[in-house]
């Protein structure tokens, strides 16, 4: 008996003789650690180079100015975690602004009726794409590309011109600031974005739906063999993305106080960039919603650095983001080579 116990206890002591148990760094956290480190490094660089950069309000402005991007990127995170893609998010945002502006300004609807309607519209739009993808086994790229053209085209059926919103509720929400500390403040849109982020973290890591999303991204066939609700989860993922896109459209409406068919052009690419820079693998199954927040804030801090410099063209934002995407794609390749898929 004592000999058996010695053999069973030996490995725990043999791992690190004389120094106690050693903890190895798990490489699955590498992309997230790289994103957070990059964000901190950019913040430190701006603080050294520019006066007034290192202030609480400057960093809160990142949340305020990128609230709609954070919300839509959260929805995109779930889609990419499942191994899919959604190219329709920017067009759904534009359609939400157009429907909201048209109903409020031209038809006199109350915001209390318009807001639930556009959220339901975005959820249904995403759900229909999810059904097409799951039921007919169509490629998400093609289905959501069709959705992108459809939603953008519907904007111009409503109006080819911009529709300004003068409703008191929208104006009040856009101007409202919530005090934080030291005179700094947050907008209602930023608070909504943070609430969505916290809810998404809970859903992704503490619910059966979130665990199923990860399982589908790792291997859809294996998830089906385990008896997981793959079909309903796939539809739910795209419905969730549609809801987040519509909510981002509501936030964008507060931000711009107008509806326009050209709003959010190319925002789907920014959302994908935020998700990838945030450490989520494009192949699915690995990533963190919290990383998406830092991915979106990284895009925002690049724009802030360029604005503080004053001598650089705004196109440098695209150049830097492109370089970062190359870097994180290489990092993901290194990551997938080090960590076997489960």
Q: Domain extents for the chain?
A: 28-338
SS3 128: helix
**Cβ proximity of 96 and 121 under 8 Å:** yes
d(CA 13, CA 30): 28
Q: What is the pTM of this model?
A: 0.90
Cα torsion 189, 195, 198, 200 to 10°: value is -80
What's the full length of the chain, in residues?
Answer: 342
Residues 6+ positions from 266 with CB-CB distance below 8 Å: 90
pLDDT at 180: 92
Query: Considering Cα of 84, then 28, then 268, then 128, what sign does the dihedral take?
Result: positive
SS3 229: coil
Counting runs of H as helices and runs of E as strands, what totals does the chain give?
Answer: 15, 4
Residues 6+ positions from 98 with CB-CB distance below 8 Å: 154, 155, 158, 159, 163, 259, 260, 261
pLDDT at 267: 96
SS3 9: helix
pLDDT at 315: 84
Query: Considering Cα of 211, then 222, then 227, then 140, what sign does the dihedral take?
Result: positive
Q: Residue holding tokens 């992108």?
A: 148
- The token pair that represents 193 in the structure block: 């974005």
Low-confidence ranges of the chain (pLDDT < 70): 1-28, 336-342
Q: Residue holding tokens 């603080």?
A: 47
CATH class for the domain made up of 28-338: mainly alpha
d(CA 272, CA 88): 12
Helix (H) or strand (E) holding 258: strand 258-259
pLDDT at 54: 85
């Amino acid at each position: 008996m004592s000999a058996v116990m010695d053999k069973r206890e030996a490995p725990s002591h043999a791992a690190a003789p004389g120094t106690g148990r050693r903890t190895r760094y798990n490489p699955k956290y590498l992309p997230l650690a790289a994103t957070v480190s990059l964000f901190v490094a950019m913040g430190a660089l701006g603080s050294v180079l520019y006066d007034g950069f290192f202030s609480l309000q400057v960093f809160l402005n990142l949340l305020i100015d990128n609230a709609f991007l954070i919300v839509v990127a959260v929805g995109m995170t779930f889609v990419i975690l499942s191994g899919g893609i959604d190219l329709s998010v920017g067009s759904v945002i534009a359609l939400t602004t157009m429907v909201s502006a048209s109903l409020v300004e031209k038809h006199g609807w109350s915001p209390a009726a318009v807001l639930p309607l556009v959220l339901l519209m975005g959820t249904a739009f995403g759900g229909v794409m999810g059904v097409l993808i799951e039921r007919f086994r169509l490629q998400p790229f093609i289905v959501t590309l069709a959705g992108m053209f459809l939603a953008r085209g519907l904007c111009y059926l409503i109006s080819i011109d911009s529709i300004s919103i003068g409703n008191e509720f929208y104006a009040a929400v856009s101007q409202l600031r919530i005090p934080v500390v030291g005179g700094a403040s947050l907008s209602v849109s930023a608070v909504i974005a943070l609430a969505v982020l916290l809810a998404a973290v809970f859903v992704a890591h503490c619910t059966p739906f979130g665990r199923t999303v990860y399982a589908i991204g790792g291997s859809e066939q294996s998830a089906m063999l385990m008896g997981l609700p793959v079909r309903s989860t796939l539809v739910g993922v795209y419905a969730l993305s549609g809801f987040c896109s519509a909510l981002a459209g509501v936030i964008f409406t507060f931000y711009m106080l107008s509806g326009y068919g050209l709003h959010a052009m190319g925002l789907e690419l920014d959302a994908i960039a935020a998700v990838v820079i945030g450490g989520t693998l494009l192949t699915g199954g690995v990533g963190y919603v919290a990383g998406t927040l830092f991915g979106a804030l990284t895009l925002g801090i690049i724009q802030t650095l360029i604005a503080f410099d004053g001598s650089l063209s705004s196109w440098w934002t695209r150049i830097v983001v492109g370089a970062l995407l190359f870097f994180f794609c290489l990092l993901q390749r290194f990551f997938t080579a080090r960590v076997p898929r489960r």
